[in-house]
Amino acid sequence: MTTLLHGTAHFQEYERESVVTIGVFDGVHRGHQQIISECVAESRRRGNASVVLTFDMNPRRVVSGDRPCVLTDRERKLALVRGLGVEYAIEIMFTSRFASLEPEEFCEDILAGHLGAKQVCVGANFRFGRDKRGDVETLSKLGGRFGYGVDVIPLVRIGGRTVSSTLVRGLIREGRMEEVSEGLGRKYSIRGKVVRGHARGKSLGFPTANVELERHFCVPAEGVYAGMAMVRDEKHVCAVNVGSNPTFGDGELALEAYILDFSEEIYGETLEVEFHHRLRDEVAFDSGDSLVRQMEMDVERARRLIGAG
């Protein structure tokens, strides 16, 4: 059971000492999983509480005004952290005041003071404090003063590249979903409410669920994908189109999922769509018949790839 706390000030009401890891952890990818798992393992060896210290938003929004797309919403991130056996997830509001903390202030007041940290687990590229002035060497040096040790966890590499949230975002934007899955250690998914669309799919014999896209989430490159749709806690194979329907000149980006062997009404419900494989680019067809023939091939390929046929 993971206890969620807002801010570090009241942690001492629960525990006196802790093993801590710190980060945004957007995506909770394989690199994050390795760091958090080591934090949990070390806490059990020591008999201290395991703590994931994370933020309510990506610090880049405050520090540079950049707004990177989001891989995991707050609920999903906490669920993934919980699944790794963490005892406490502490969410900090990342304000300009927090961003201005010097590395020494952060280590003395928050790590040693509020959290009673005895060990801190971070990745080899960890940076912290005002203007990212602190690194793992700074963290270790200050740990000697404030009574905690530091475990530096090696970065996870796949195919010669370091796994990072930035890498995963780039792969999603390129539609390279197999590599995304490898980096995340699971399939990438988007959740949203099913809304009414133009009903063209139904008229063509392929009724689709139109998923409302929230602008801050990472959306795969335009194209057609094979995946799975989670409907009412059950998974179904689906063929997914991400794009603007150039055949009909819609212009607005949409996500439409044709759920195989499913015919129930789900308007207004939340649908989660997993992206497994990219099948093809989105293209404009010269007729509805040409589009239907291609859709038939897409559906059969999705069924074959996902193993449901």
- Catalytic site positions: 256
Question: Residue 271 is encoded by which pair of tokens?
Answer: 């649908």
Inter-CA distances, 65 with 59, 62, 93, 117, 231, Å: 9, 6, 16, 31, 36
What is the token pair recorded at 259?
């759920």
